[in-house]
Structure 1
Amino acid sequence: MLIPQTRNIGLPMMNLMRFKGLPILQQLQIEEQLLRTSSDNWCIINDGTSDPTIVMGVSGKPAELLEIESVLRAQVPVIRRFTGGGTVIVDCGTIFVTFICNKEAVPDLQPYPRPIMSWSGLLYSKVFQGIGDFHLRENDYVFGNHKFGGNAQSITKSRWIHHTSFLWDFDVRNMTYLKLPKRAPAYRSARGHLDFICRMKDYMPRSTFIDKTVEAASTQFSLSSFESEEIETLSETEFHPSTRSKANSNFQQRQYLEEFYKDSHVANNFEKHLE
């Protein structure tokens, strides 16, 4: 979808950056850099990521959220992002949409989690108008009572980020790496992963969703395409992202998980996978 060359007079400016298959670690590091070093508004769309990867929220605990032995056996990379929210496994079937905004970018929007969540729900109601039984349910995007979009946020003194992982498709096998979370929305009703989530591809084409998302964003912002190669010129200061991964080998994966989970019994179980 091409962005109109004419700007919507009176709407705040927003840079639109689009990727296809960008590794999720790199995407999250770009987002964190833009949140902390840029003063512009941004929309980032990444159509899939290169390899299956587990992404945990900033306060997530691997022992509570992951089937650690299965993760190590399959050597699935695990990273911890800089925002809150739950744990997801993402791959080429995941579509990522991110909004990074100054606090004054959306008129009358209070920079707190619930108002930002409600704003996003209204924006995506335009994307899914007439498609399925879409609504925002607690902190999830759902069709009926089945989740297809998970959200996470971070709010700083002057800016906020709201990003979403949309399940256009998923591999059933990947769900076996995730435990049922202890904290879950009430509407989940203790359902297992496969009874709780659904695939967007059963409701709309992939390209249609992306085009409609850009169209919905253009009703609230004046969009301008931004080339990803220009990111390095945005800040004169050196930036060190907190989002990281140490999954280049099974040994490094073990070290990464142990850093957040100090339990000798589990640590001993890790050792047998290094042989």
Structure 2
Amino acid sequence: MLIINQSITDPYFNIASEEFLLKNFSEDIFILYSNTPSIIVGKHQNTMAEINHNFVSQKGVPVIRRLSGGGTVYHDLGNVNYSFIINGSEGNLVDFKKHTKPIIDVLTSLGVDAHIGGKNDIRVGDKKISGNAEHIYKNRVLHHGTLLFNSNLDELNESIKVNKNTYTDKAVKSIRSHVANINEYLNDDISIGKFKELLIDHVKMLFPNAVDYQLNQNDITSINELISKKFVTWNWNYGYSPSYTLNRQIHFNKYTLDIIVNVDKGLINQVSIKGNHLEPKSVKELEQLLQGCIHETQEISNRLKNIDISQFIPEILNEDFIKGLF
């Protein structure tokens, strides 16, 4: 087994490195890494339905689709991400209990009463401290999970706070849970660095032939190419989402707008805007202006930059109208 204690905190790099190591190495691998603030959505999810788009855009938080299924998770430097890449035989690759046991054993040794939950997460009581997912590639499985050690839980909750009735689609939905940080339950105060060290020591005990591995320049070059081709692209992170319909009602001054936006492969293909005191013919022109635009704040802003929305909808500012499209 190779053990990689990754010092790079770029979320694009670390998410891409998992795919690179899964598909290009033959050894079993254990990886630890932390990312700067970012939101990681499951492969089969509708990205827009899983994030607080206006908050995320304002904060400049990267949103990245990962290789595995499952729900959306928040990463920051107070979170430890762990990955097992393990060889196996067909039919015996997916095993959440097996792959979470080493983590639970370390937590237990630190006084944390951790157990695996019904949705393959790790919990203390009814609080979630770790989300987990798996992906199979040929005879290898990638099992990865979060470990909320001392994350900013306010930012976590705000980043993924959405109105579940806003979007209609057939995508995989995240199951929201009450979360907690591991350091709340420790017998003794330890640093996140010490926690990582204990995880690695335990894995080395389980795999006596394990050796440390550091990504070389060829590895890094290949990972950066994968980032450019896939993980940084809008097509992967947003356009890969299943078709969806957005239903929003926005209120301003004396007006109420009911907005329906149909999106396919990330592109707006139909818009309906209805409201009191609106001229249907005028609104129709605005609806047509939005068709074919990428459903993304900056793209819509660019499309409407020379348009005064108040000529179609009295008394509304462009920025308020655009917020209503998310």
Same fold (TM over 0.5): yes
Per-residue deviation, 1:157:
2.0
Provide the C-alpha distance between the structure 2 equivalents of 1:156 and 1:259, rounded to a whole number of angstroms. Answer: 19
| Paired letter, 1:179 | K
Note the 1:146-157 alignment, pairs <5 A: 146-157=127-138
Contact 1:66–1:177, Cα closer than 8 Å, also in 2:
yes
- Stretches of structure 2 lacking an aligned partner (at least 5 in a row): 165-171, 245-262, 272-289, 306-326
Contact 2:84–2:99, Cα closer than 8 Å, also in 1:
no
Give the match for residue 49 of structure 1. 35
Distance 1:226 1:202, change over 3 A: same
Q: Which among 71, 78, 82 is matched to residue 93 of structure 1?
A: 78
Distance 1:239 1:100, change over 3 A: farther
Provide the C-alpha distance between the structure 2 equivalents of 1:73 and 1:128, rounded to a whole number of angstroms. Answer: 36
Note the 1:86-165 alignment, pairs <5 A: 86-103=71-88, 110-112=92-94, 116-130=95-109, 131-138=111-118, 139-165=120-146
Q: Which among 196, 199, 202 is matched to residue 210 of structure 1?
A: 196
Distance 1:257 1:230, change over 3 A: closer
Distance 1:258 1:184, change over 3 A: closer
Contact 1:35–1:159, Cα closer than 8 Å, also in 2:
yes
RMSD (CA atoms): 3.3
2:108 partner SS: coil
Note the 1:1-275 alignment, pairs <5 A: 14-46=1-33, 48-50=34-36, 52-103=37-88, 110-112=92-94, 116-130=95-109, 131-138=111-118, 139-171=120-152, 172-179=154-161, 183=173, 196-204=178-186, 205=190, 206-221=192-207, 222-229=209-216, 232=219, 240=226, 244-246=231-233, 257=238, 260=241, 262=263, 263=268, 264=270, 270=297
- Stretches of structure 1 lacking an aligned partner (at least 5 in a row): 1-13, 186-191, 247-251
| Paired letter, 2:3 | L
Q: Which structure would you say has the larger Rg? A: 2
Provide the C-alpha distance between the structure 2 equivalents of 1:99 and 1:88, rounded to a whole number of angstroms. Answer: 18
Provide the C-alpha distance between the structure 2 equivalents of 1:268 and 1:233, rounded to a whole number of angstroms. Answer: 32
| Paired letter, 2:115 | H
Q: Which has the higher contact order (CA 8 A, sep 6+)?
A: 1
Taking structure 2 as the reference length, what is the TM-score of the superposition? 0.63
Provide the C-alpha distance between the structure 1 equivalents of 2:237 and 2:112, rounded to a whole number of angstroms. Answer: 40
Per-residue deviation, 1:214:
1.4
Per-residue deviation, 1:21:
4.4
